[in-house]
Structure 1
Amino acid sequence: MEQLLREMQNSKTDQDSLTMLTQLVAALRPAKPEDHVTAVNNARALCYLLEQHSEYRDSLRNAFFSLLDNTRQVNLYTETGILLNESFMTAVKRRIGAKILPPTVNAEHFSDLLGVIFHKRSDYLWLEAIPHEVWYEIGQALHMDEVPSDKVPPHIRLQQLEAIQVLSCRISAIGLEPEVIRNHPDVERFESPFVRLNAEVLNYIEKYRHDLTARQTPDEDHSHLLVLLEQCEGIMAKVWKYASKNGASVSLTYHLLRLKQHIDRMKLLFELVDPTAPQGEPLIALFLSLVKAENRKNSVGDVFRENTELLALQITEHASHTGEHYTSESRREWLDMFRSAAGAGVIVGFMALIKIKLATAHLPLLLEAFAFSMNYALGFMLVHILHCTIATKQPAMTAASIAAALPAPGSKNLESYSKLIELIVKVIRTQFIAIMGNVLLAMPVALGIAWLWWDRLGEHVVSPEKADILLRDLQPIAGLGLPHAAIAGVCLFLAGLISGYYDNKALYNKIPERIAALPLLNKVIGEYRSKRLGQYIEHNLGALAGNFYFGCMLGSIGTIGILLGLPLDIRHITFSAANLSYAFAGNDFNLPLLALGWAAVGVALIGATNLITSFVLALSVALRSRKRRLRELKPVIGLLWKRFWQKPIDFIIAPKLQAEKSDE
């Protein structure tokens, strides 16, 4: 490192400066990006060398200023780390293309040179691991106060001012997008801060440039510009609040995300151009964000995350509202859930029979997949229409409610988790009674159907060979019961997202109002019934769509597995329970007790896998959409265990409320 600093004194060209800075970063870079101790030690070693040798810090400052003075930085401030005005697919294709055929380095743009200096894709990891106090030590060791003001290239400040002007124009343009105006009509009025911002920024920049040209210290006050930016953020909050009630589109969420990024970057630049403001913190924040953005500029995964995070929040919010109906507060609600689940168990008993008979028809593959899908889809939709409940649909809905109940980030007070603990207890007991309702009715109904079939037709519903296949499918490992149950869990998770998406779509596109106002429908069934139909669609479109697509996924996965030559299939606890009854009947209502016991264990494990898979996936998405992490649930484990030992019966049976006791 010292040798590089010594050689840097002989740098005469920008290329020499670039080479020396690249080698210096290579010397600071630890062998492994997760080796944070080495990163900090290397940074402190650089501080020591700069503090001890004035010629070293002079050469490092000169090399850095030389690159800044001879390059353009506007695109660095206005594009790096900020979403471009491009469609989702265009962004994906552009990044994939850059991975396959990287673009050439433009020596006139500092953003390209930054990518050369920090060329390792993991550089941002060890840079972020260096504490801010160490960065302050590096800044102090450079002794920027030793640099005369006339030696600092004015080009750097002019580039920052130009970047502020570009950001201002883009903020005004995004704020006046039709999608934004639709959700907040007052935006297009002349008093809108988006309209006023651009004019005020132009006046500010003109005065600032005049002071720089006259070699005067700029003293322009930008506080009124910060007020305008805060007003813009206030409008953003109102737009999102309106969208939370009336639905959001991908386009709207993309505009809001870009708007937030532009405003945040503009605030940061205002701090940098203010000669009276401390430069340390904003400079560190800008540097780290720029390096991270440069390292990850070709990441396709980031495009998916950035474009879907806000919309995922909206979708999971709708799922959260639905999930509130899957938690039982009182004994009465708990019993209502059992009755609702029992109704679904009865329907599934017949659906399982139809599935078995369709399989024995040996239809062509595509027709068979269609028939299976329609059996599942229409059956699940019937379950919803009759106000019944499929227990395995609960985790995808309740996960969003649990994520919403998390205490504020950084909360150390365990008491703040009490609300969350009680919610989880309610979810567990409601899930338990729903499973019981499904299984305890699906099995006897299927057994009753099988007995009637044998009594009336003189033959069993399934042959002994088919019964053996059904029993083998329940085996967790040999019959691939657990992997196939996990696939069903993924389908359950996707169905939850689809439900939230269609709920959001119904609100955003005003589908209920449009149905109620449809002239032909009003003529056929009348205005009152049209309005009632619209209201029903508003509250049930998501659930119906989720059930339909869930049925299609369950019905077609086995066929997809055959076409691909892969052992793909699904196992669902309620259908597995019904199949166990049909297999029992196929063996002439006589199975060894041990075989029956192992089959029951298989059904239980399939159910656990269904629930755990869908719940973990749904919870991770709900947490990520709120910028939270799974590790924040760590305190919940101990508190939940403590709550279990205090009153374990609450995890199974809902308590009677005072009103219920008085009714008795």
Structure 2
Amino acid sequence: MLHILEKISASPVNAELDLLIELMRAIRPKKREAPELAITNVRTLTHVLQQHPHHAATLRHYLLHLLSVRRQTSLYTDIGILSNDGFFSELHRRIAYRILPPALDDRYLPDCLEKIFPFDTDYLWMQAVSPEDWAALFDVVSQAEIELPDLEQIDEQKTLTEILLAIQVLSYRISAIGIEPELIRIYSDIKAFESPFLMQNVELHRYLDGYMRHLNGDPTPLEDASHVLVMLEQCQDVVKKIRNSTLRLGTSISVTYRLVRLDQHLDRLHKLLSLVDVGTTDSSAAIANEKRSIGLQLGLELIEAHNRKYTVRDLFAANINLLARNITENASRTGEHYIAEDRREYAAMYRSAAGAGFIIGFMSLIKILFSYLRAAPLVEAFLFSMNYSLGFMFIHVLHFTVATKQPAMTASRIAAGLHSRDGRNIDLDSLTELIVKVVRTQFVAVLGNLTIAFPVAYLLVYGYFLMTGHHFVTPDKAEHLLHDIDPFSSLALFHAAIAGVCLFLAGLISGYYDNKALYTRMSQRVARARWLNGLLGKARTARLGDYLETGLGGLMGNFYFGILLGTIGTIGFMIGLPIDIRHITFSATNFAIALVALDHAVSWHVIAVSTFGVLAIGMVNLWVSFSLALFVALRSRQVKFRHSWPLVKSLCRRFLKKPVDFFIPPKTAPLPEPESGVEPS
């Protein structure tokens, strides 16, 4: 390090990056060394500079000169901030640049970072160094006496001018994003000419005019940036209100993308203003330390953003969490209907599930009839898909319940329960009670499906045998049906897990279309369709629009769920992989069909294995779909729940105290108890 510092001291007025690259290489841990080794290297550099103040002074001048001769604005306005091109254009750009990186231009500071910090992991070792160690190094460099004060003052003013220009650019962009028609439509309470997004630009111009006069020697005291900061806080409040409105009115990818960009611009502008603001009369060490802390935070943020600027995962993470929040919020509200509070609702859930079981009994037979057509694979997949899709949509229209559709909805409701009312405590007792309700409602829904679907399928095929004199399926087909639900000698549980994934995807699709129906105001669009008004009349068209706005998600979720169930087996056949689906209710009906086809000549061992297989398939269906839905719901809400063990203990205590509550609800819903919480992580 001393050798590099001596070379810098020999020519401090040097615009080349080579010496800085060498210095970073000396500090950076080697490829297989721990990032924490950088701590020792930074402390060594600090110690060397303390022993050689002249080197510290020339290093400062060298760094300032490097900054002053390069264009810095894009570093502060672009790095770490999503581009204006939109989500898909940005995704395409990142993928393209990962394959073939862009050309570099040393005149621009962001391109210089590519040479100074060439590795994607550079930000890790820089973050491993504590703020105190960076502050000590910064103090040694900044406090050393300089031999070229006039030149350094010129360099400092050039750098400051670039930062002020970046502040101005960020302010213009905030104004442009904030008055986008989509955002104003969502939050219509604010008029464009009263928008804080425009007023912050007016205040900023006033502040920058005074700042430039101050730099040019005007003796008038410089006002601080407090007025601008107040306007930025108002902008952030409006962003929060828009986000809350999207939970009620729906959102889109473009709106979500704009909100993320707006947040990034507001945060960056706030930090830059805090760095350059000199209007305060208080010049205490505390303010200097605060500015240094903000500068260090911003520097590390820029380097991390530079290292990860072509990372596709970060782009998805910034947008999908917000979009998924809106989708799962709709699923959460739907999940309220899948939770039975008392015995009246419990009985209603059983009747709803029984109705679905009755229809599924017919759907099972129709699928087998389609298989007898021996159609081409794609035609067969289409027929199976339509059987599933139209059947599930019919079940939805009649307000019946397929038990396996519940977990994707109730998981979002449980995730919503992890949000405390006061933002600090999570009520474990209420959460335990919610899970108990979910478990018993799930139990009665499964019971309703199975207790009706099995006898309906049994009676249908037995009646077919009595009328025709031969069985609905051959003995070979019956053996095949039994083998498909055997959890020990087939891939039944693996196929059940695939069905669980399909159930989870159906829940997301349902939430997506619920969100889309709200955002596009489906009811009004349908009501305005002239051809529908002419066909159905205004009153019926209006009712249809109202129904689609509230029920489109359920219809589309069931439709696509049927498509998934009907095509996966054919896809597995066509690509030669053992991919198929097993669904608990259809497995139960297939068991009934096989029993009749074999004239009940099956051993108790086969009956026991098949019964266990049906229940195991159901457990896998429910667990996979619930786990995936809960994971997405927690991620979308950015909740890290670390009270799993206390929650498990609370559930165990509840089961030992009142095990019947997990299966049968009380006659009336209990009154809510006073809230008792634990601190969330």
Aligned 1:248-327 pairs, distance under 5 A:
248-275=251-278, 276=280, 277=287, 278-327=290-339
Distance 1:185 1:450 in 2: 60
Alignment equivalent of 1:165, drawn from 161, 165, 168: 168
Alignment equivalent of 1:179, drawn from 179, 182, 185: 182
Distance 1:119 1:324 in 2: 51
CA change 1:658–1:349 in 2 (3 A) is closer
State the shift of 1:503 in Å.
Answer: 0.9
Distance 2:169 2:670 in 1: 63
CA change 1:38–1:582 in 2 (3 A) is farther
TM-score with structure 1 length normalisation?
0.92
Say if 2:416 is the partner of 1:404. yes
Distance 1:558 1:438 in 2: 23
Aligned 1:360-509 pairs, distance under 5 A:
360-407=372-419, 416-476=427-487, 478-509=489-520
- Structure 2 letter corresponding to 1:171: I
Task: Give the secondary structure class of the aligned counterpart of 2:79.
Answer: coil
CA change 1:410–1:58 in 2 (3 A) is farther
Distance 2:292 2:25 in 1: 20
Distance 2:636 2:370 in 1: 41
State the number of aligned residues: 658
State the shift of 1:169 in Å.
Answer: 0.7
Aligned 1:568-647 pairs, distance under 5 A:
568-629=579-640, 633=644, 635-647=646-658
State the shift of 1:465 in Å.
Answer: 1.1
Say if 2:152 is the partner of 1:132. no
Aligned equivalent of 2:98: 99
Aligned equivalent of 1:29: 29
Provide Cα deviations, 1:21-47, integer angstroms capped at 9, x if missing partner: 4543553336458x4644444444444
Provide Cα deviations, 1:479-520, integer angstroms capped at 9, x if missing partner: 221222122111111111111111111111111122234444
Q: Greater CA deviation, 57-66 or 490-499? A: 57-66
Aligned equivalent of 1:545: 556
State the shift of 1:179 in Å.
Answer: 0.9
Provide Cα deviations, 1:22-74, integer angstroms capped at 9, x if missing partner: 543553336458x4644444444444444444345334433422321221111
Distance 1:129 1:214 in 2: 42
Q: Greater CA deviation, 426-435 or 649-658? A: 649-658
Say if 2:190 is the partner of 1:191. no
Distance 1:482 1:32 in 2: 42
Contact in 1 for aligned 2:210/2:222 (Cα 8 Å): no
Contact in 1 for aligned 2:415/2:634 (Cα 8 Å): yes
Aligned equivalent of 2:521: 510
Task: Give the secondary structure class of the aligned counterpart of 1:220.
Answer: coil
CA change 1:573–1:658 in 2 (3 A) is closer
Distance 2:13 2:168 in 1: 31
Say if 2:114 is the partner of 1:111. no
- Structure 2 letter corresponding to 1:258: R
Say if 2:214 is the partner of 1:211. yes
Say if 2:247 is the partner of 1:240. no
Provide Cα deviations, 1:77-108, integer angstroms capped at 9, x if missing partner: 11111110113221122111111111122211
Contact in 2 for aligned 1:373/1:556 (Cα 8 Å): yes
Contact in 1 for aligned 2:358/2:456 (Cα 8 Å): yes
Distance 2:638 2:604 in 1: 50
CA change 1:182–1:18 in 2 (3 A) is farther
Provide Cα deviations, 1:530-550, integer angstroms capped at 9, x if missing partner: 332222222211101100011
CA change 1:18–1:326 in 2 (3 A) is farther
Provide Cα deviations, 1:564-608, integer angstroms capped at 9, x if missing partner: 222221111111111122222222212111122122222222222
Contact in 2 for aligned 1:211/1:217 (Cα 8 Å): yes
- Structure 1 letter corresponding to 2:117: F
State the shift of 1:289 in Å.
Answer: 1.6
Q: Greater CA deviation, 130-139 or 202-211? A: 130-139
Q: Greater CA deviation, 256-265 or 189-198? A: 189-198
Unaligned regions of 5+ residues in structure 1, if any?
none
Aligned equivalent of 1:650: 661
Provide Cα deviations, 1:267-310, integer angstroms capped at 9, x if missing partner: 01111112354312211221222112111111122222223222
Q: How large is the Cα RMSD of the aligned pairs? A: 2.7
Aligned equivalent of 2:674: none
Aligned equivalent of 1:200: 203
Contact in 2 for aligned 1:319/1:499 (Cα 8 Å): yes
Say if 2:337 is the partner of 1:330. no
Contact in 1 for aligned 2:341/2:669 (Cα 8 Å): no
Task: Give the secondary structure class of the aligned counterpart of 1:533.
Answer: helix
Q: Greater CA deviation, 440-449 or 363-372? A: 440-449
State the shift of 1:75 in Å.
Answer: 0.6
Q: Greater CA deviation, 225-234 or 156-165? A: 225-234
Aligned 1:67-106 pairs, distance under 5 A:
67-106=66-105
Q: Greater CA deviation, 68-77 or 634-643? A: 634-643
Contact in 1 for aligned 2:453/2:588 (Cα 8 Å): yes
Provide Cα deviations, 1:237-266, integer angstroms capped at 9, x if missing partner: 333333322221222122111111111110
Aligned equivalent of 1:533: 544
State the shift of 1:320 in Å.
Answer: 0.7
Contact in 1 for aligned 2:36/2:125 (Cα 8 Å): no
CA change 1:479–1:206 in 2 (3 A) is same
- Structure 2 letter corresponding to 1:84: S
- Structure 2 letter corresponding to 1:125: L
Task: Give the secondary structure class of the aligned counterpart of 1:139.
Answer: helix
State the shift of 1:616 in Å.
Answer: 1.9
State the shift of 1:217 in Å.
Answer: 10
Distance 2:522 2:642 in 1: 39
Distance 2:412 2:633 in 1: 5
TM-score with structure 2 length normalisation?
0.90
Task: Give the secondary structure class of the aligned counterpart of 1:320.
Answer: helix
Contact in 2 for aligned 1:157/1:273 (Cα 8 Å): yes
Contact in 2 for aligned 1:171/1:194 (Cα 8 Å): yes
Distance 1:641 1:228 in 2: 52
Task: Give the secondary structure class of the aligned counterpart of 2:193.
Answer: coil
CA change 1:631–1:567 in 2 (3 A) is farther
State the shift of 1:3 in Å.
Answer: 5.2
CA change 1:206–1:632 in 2 (3 A) is farther
CA change 1:341–1:45 in 2 (3 A) is farther
Task: Give the secondary structure class of the aligned counterpart of 1:279.
Answer: helix
State the shift of 1:135 in Å.
Answer: 3.5
Q: Greater CA deviation, 61-70 or 573-582? A: 61-70
The sequence identity of aligned pairs, in percent, is 46
Task: Give the secondary structure class of the aligned counterpart of 2:245.
Answer: helix
CA change 1:294–1:22 in 2 (3 A) is farther
Distance 1:145 1:432 in 2: 74
- Structure 2 letter corresponding to 1:195: L
CA change 1:110–1:457 in 2 (3 A) is same
Task: Give the secondary structure class of the aligned counterpart of 2:399.
Answer: coil
Contact in 2 for aligned 1:208/1:218 (Cα 8 Å): no
Contact in 1 for aligned 2:56/2:144 (Cα 8 Å): no
Task: Give the secondary structure class of the aligned counterpart of 1:628.
Answer: coil
Q: Greater CA deviation, 157-166 or 534-543? A: 534-543
